[in-house]
Structure 1
């Protein structure tokens, strides 16, 4: 029988469930030898149903995020790996018009986080509906118009998670998609000492208003055919103007204030009409400090995700992000 207890949440008591199912299976096996054909068929059917329930349980994910509401009413979801003392924390920021629960479902970040010993939090942006946004500078929507201090909010989530769940505050990582990626890069630019590394997919730093203040490891993924946040910069589909992705790359490279070795790798294993160019800027020790993925033909999409023809399968965003974050863990 399949065992999915290795990826579980404390509130679900997965090991206990698995023990119960194994006990039922063993009883059925013993009964099988002592019964007639009709009873054997019935026992076999029940065994198959139990196996199916386990498979459905595993497929549905044995992970349950816990929702936390802060004193100011803002909230986040969090999943914490079992048996890991002071796990590093990744704060995953949803795109504009999304929310934490939606990001937890669609990003595919929770399972790889727990498998690698990371805790992961999904905070909600601000807004009057379930369609939330972040203040990343000039974007986006109500959060930017009301000048919500979302940089402080994300750091408050990290502080709260350390206090409630024992995460390692000195090992904080931030990732985001689109508007969430913009905020991740804003945090890196404005509060470089607070984070170990950040990752942005299809979201650029607001260079017109914000400049990096110190060296922070940054991973950035961007499609050359992105219509929402154009790769070359300029006006996007919703009327906002953005910096060019490569200008943001240059700004973070300049903030490193040291010589880095550049390498280029072409990835085209999916044969999906797109091609990914991976540029790695490594320190003298070989550690990647800045990694930039130019997805030729890619759109405003999460690499490896399930939506749209402009979503490349050449790379998997969670896999690449966690490999990068792992390289920057404080020991």
Structure 2
């Protein structure tokens, strides 16, 4: 075989590999299929009925570093990852952050992408990374993925995850928080609407879907790019939205983000928000009774991304929005969490 033929074959094989990789990711990206909403469950700091640890007998302690875990919820085996800083005291109650991946990802991807482990090491808290079934979460009648189609109760799964971790580690229930991006941010909102497990939630590029007449009295920080075309800031249908039609319906109909946050403030009886702008970042913060706060942080011209994260290979292959450098979302959310424990 001459050198020209060899070079052509090499290029062909490389191009084919890229096409296959992009095809796999596109399948995950487009695979949002929903027909019915999850059940509404009241959350308590114990595992709900039907939830069991994987191992029989007493639960083993959690070693320092990153580890993988399994629990059974409503007859389904579910998985999550856990990060415990080795220097963390095994006896002093520690804060817990539950980080919920978006529809493209899973727990391992979220652990690698957003810098929460490094923040946990610096600040002394535990991080959990639950795995959505088929890489998505059930948050409404039309979003998102096979879990909602199958009637999976992802709210119950996250509550069971917190209970399982609390049985193995000393966790402070007044400093337990949930953060999420995109579909994971939508689940964080549902957790605030349907449970009393969390002291505060942090949402990036997400939205509230479905009713939420009486959310828990918690604090909220919401970060959103004004150029997001997947969950648009102005509430119009995103680029993956098909109106809920077809075999894989996608309908994200939460309305404008600013209106949603304003409704949240009214429910929480907050004072009028005060806005400040620094470069591309505008923060609108409202003080609420009992030490709570509701903040909306917008980043001008930023797309559908986690600000401050490192661009991933998948994002480069698909031409997705690069992370904004105007804000470090992980540090911003953690500072907000640390300042807003539950006032019990």
> What TM-score bracket applies, with the shorter chain setting the length?
0.7 to 0.9
Pair 1:123-2:133 in alignment:
no
Whose RCO is larger (CA < 8 A, sep 6+)?
Answer: 2
- Spell out structure 1 runs of 4+ moving beyond 4 A: none
| Structure 2: 5+ residue stretches without partners | 1-61, 242-250, 312-319
Match of 1:187 in 2: 191
Would you say 1:303 and 2:297 are equivalent positions? no
Question: Is 1:90–1:174's contact at 8 Å kept on the other side of the alignment?
Answer: yes
Deviations 1:236-266 (A, max 9, x none): 1111333221122022112202x42522121
CA distance in 1, matches of 2:82, 2:226: 33
Q: Deviations over 1:81-122 (max 9, x none)?
A: 333322111100000021000000001111112321211000
CA distance in structure 2 between the aligned counterparts of 1:11 and 1:156, rounded to whole angstroms: 20
Task: Output the CA distance in 1 between the equivalents of 2:156 and 2:321.
Answer: 36
2:70–2:78 Cα contact (<8 Å) kept: yes
Does 1:312 find its partner at 2:312? no
Q: State how many pairs are aligned.
A: 257
C-alpha separation in 1, matches of 2:136 and 2:154: 10
CA offsets per residue over residues 142-190 of structure 1, 9 Å max, x none? 1122221111111110000000122223421000000000000111122
Which position in structure 1 is the counterpart of 2:283?
278
- Secondary structure at the residue paired with 2:179? strand
Q: CA separation of 1:214/1:77 partners in 2, compared to 1, >3 Å: closer, same or farther? A: closer
Question: Which position in structure 2 is the counterpart of 1:133?
Answer: 136
**Structure 1 residue 136: Cα displacement:** 1.3
Distance 1:178 1:217, change over 3 A: same
TM-score by length of 1: 0.73
Structure 1, 222-231 or 81-90: larger mean CA deviation: 81-90
**CA–CA separation in structure 2 for the residues paired with 1:96 and 1:117:** 28
- Per-residue deviation, 1:310: 4.7
Aligned-pair distance for 1:284? 7.1
Counterparts of 1:1-331 in structure 2, within 5 Å, are 64-71=65-72, 72-81=76-85, 82-84=87-89, 85-127=92-134, 132-137=135-140, 138-191=142-195, 193-207=196-210, 209-239=211-241, 240-243=251-254, 244-257=256-269, 259-268=270-279, 275-283=280-288, 289-307=293-311, 310-330=322-342
Query: What is the root-mean-square deviation in Å for CA atoms of aligned residues?
Result: 2.0
Gaps of 5+ in 1: 1-9, 13-63, 269-274
Distance 1:111 1:262 in 2: 32
SS in 2 for 1:96: coil
Q: Does structure 2 conserve the Cα–Cα contact (< 8 Å) formed by 1:76 and 1:123? A: yes
Judge conservation of contact 1:92–1:176 (CA < 8 Å) in 2: yes
**Bigger Rg over Cα:** 1
Q: 1:229·1:242 contact (CA, 8 Å) conserved in 2?
A: no
